[in-house]
Amino acid sequence: MVCTDLEPLRLYIYDEAMLYFAGERYDRADTETLSSHITNRGYTDRPAAFPTSIEWEGYADAEEVDQSTRTLSAFLKFLRAEGYDADQLWADIKLVVVKTFAAVLPQLRRSWKQLAPKPRARHLLPRITGLDVHLSVQPDGSLKPWLLEVNPNPALGMF
């Protein structure tokens, strides 16, 4: 996601995000299995830590990076096939992004005005930001995105 201006707020959300999956299926009752709680690439890239717990057969993903990483388009295709409203989920995720930036807008404006006091120069300060979102299955079977972390310095050189 890139923020190019704050007055007015202008966000560009990349629609082919990379998704990182935990090494094993999550089980609320199991607090001992770390690989079901961690999506860190340094941990999940180890082959032993990522069994084929998520069924991807039939969902070819040309942009696959490794066993624990998939593109957003492949995941949305998978969700549609499983009966989820993938378009609504993507709209909900974008709303999380907008609400996150709206919540910190006053602080961002102060920072940007210090770095670029002249309004015409503010377009020179684009902000690339990564947002980590967790999806949970709701009682009605829908998916709900939850903001986990905002990363102001995402690693861009790992692909």
Residues 82 and 75: beta-carbon distance below 8 Å = no
- The mean pLDDT of the chain is 77
Helix (H) or strand (E) segment spanning residue 144:
strand 143-151
> In 44-58, which positions are buried (b, 16+ CB within 10 angstroms) versus exposed (e)?
bbeeebbeeebeeee
Beta bridge mates, 133: 147
Longest CA span, the chain:
54
Average pLDDT over residues 129-156: 87
Residues 104 and 126: beta-carbon distance below 8 Å = no
Q: Indicate whether 89 pLDDT > 80.
A: yes
**Given this model, what pLDDT does residue 51 score?**
42
State the pLDDT confidence band at 57, using cuts at 50, 70 and 90.
low
d(CA 94, CA 13): 7
Q: Indicate whether 40 pLDDT > 70.
A: no
- Residue among 149, 145, 153, 157 nearest 39 (CA): 149
Mark out the alpha helices in the chain (DSSP H runs): 41-44, 72-81, 86-103, 105-115
Higher pLDDT among residues 109 and 93, named by residue: 93
Instruction: Give me the phi and psi of 4, to 5 degrees please.
Output: -105, -15
d(CA 6, CA 99): 14
State the pLDDT confidence band at 96, using cuts at 50, 70 and 90.
very high
**Given this model, what pLDDT does residue 58 score?**
52
Q: Where are the domains of the chain?
A: 2-151
Q: In this structure, what token pair is assigned to residue 77?
A: 């295709």
Tens of pLDDT along 15-28? 888 787 776 777 77
- Residue among 26, 45, 38 nearest 132 (CA): 38
Q: Indicate whether 49 pLDDT > 70.
A: no
State the pLDDT confidence band at 53, using cuts at 50, 70 and 90.
very low
